[in-house]
Amino acid sequence: DCCWQQSGNNDTTDGFLIPPIRRRDPNGLWPEALPEMRTAYSMLADLSDYARERGVKVIAWKDTNDNDTIVDPGPTGEFKSLRRFLNRLKATGASGVKVDFVHGETEDLVRFETALMEMSAELELVVNLHGCHKPSGESRRYPNQLTREAVWGMEIMRLIHGADFILDQQHLKPITARHNAILPFTRFVLGGADYTPMALNAERRGNTTLVHQMALLVLFDSPLQTIAEDPHYLLDKSKPHAPALDVIKAIPATWHTTHLLPPSSIGELVVMARKTNDEATDTWFLA
């Protein structure tokens, strides 16, 4: 969620980041605060302190193409640049990192991802991988890897509409309802995906409906759900989705039991009943 960032401006300041944290109350909903690591670590430390006082944890976004070359294992293969970065990140009080633009599945990049998850676990940092390859069971060995992208998700619709920083924008194709009805049988079989669901603005949800978008929060697994909507719009009580806000807030982050129901059909229709292992609520969600 880039609501803190003005269009066409990559120079992040605390003026952009603090308002989203204030919007956390009283609804329990907030966007990620993702300052670029090229900014001062002291700013991130101040932001983390401010957020912590308000019950918000900060996940920092990191571009693997930055000059500190965290993907480089170095001559000894110990990924010293990566360790230095993670130690500095931990010192700021941030709770995790979203590492972006991995762009590959070579042996070297898989070694980098493994080092990232192991070092982050040592420091008690959570990890979200973006611009990466599909999962192959990593989250079972490294549960601090909450989710990863490796999916054509709703953030694409935000990029198509008004993003001037995408050089290849003309080749981006809108997300379709059929695409979403395929994913539970394909990509999500492999593991959780940071699909960035629930675009509520009609301009940005393509040929899908409002109810379709809300259903994605139940149908698509991701222990960290990054909602693809501006918090101002999401919490606007004058909008059509306003009556559903309590339901949206009640949707769990993980599931214990899932039943795929008829007449589900790949690419046509997905019907799921899901519940957590919380015996106190014993609530089923149908989507």
**Mean pLDDT value across the chain:** 86
Least confident of 18-22, 49-53, 139-143: 18-22
Q: How confident is the model at residue 255 (pLDDT cuts 50, 70, 90)?
A: very high
- Fold classification of 1-150 (topology level): TIM Barrel (3.20.20)
Number of residues in the chain: 287
- Alpha carbon dihedral 254, 257, 261, 267, in 10-degree steps, equals 40
Instruction: Encode pLDDT of 203-248 as tens digits.
Output: 889 889 999 999 999 999 999 999 988 889 999 999 999 999 999 9
Q: How confident is the model at residue 15 (pLDDT cuts 50, 70, 90)?
A: low
3 state DSSP class of 171: helix
Residue that has been written with the tokens 């009580």 in this structure: 237
CA distance 36 to 17: 11
Start-to-end CA distance of the chain, whole Å, equals 24
Read off the pLDDT of each residue in 141-170 and give the average, rounded to a whole number.
80
Q: What pLDDT does 35 receive?
A: 47
CA distance 9 to 109: 30
pTM for the model: 0.85
Q: What pLDDT does 170 receive?
A: 62
- The residue extents of the domains of the chain are 1-150, 172-287
- pLDDT score of 24 more than 80: no
Taking residue 166's Cβ as centre, other Cβ atoms within 10 Å add up to 12
Read off the pLDDT of each residue in 91-110 and give the average, rounded to a whole number.
96
Angle between helices 107-122 and 80-91 (to 10 degrees): 30
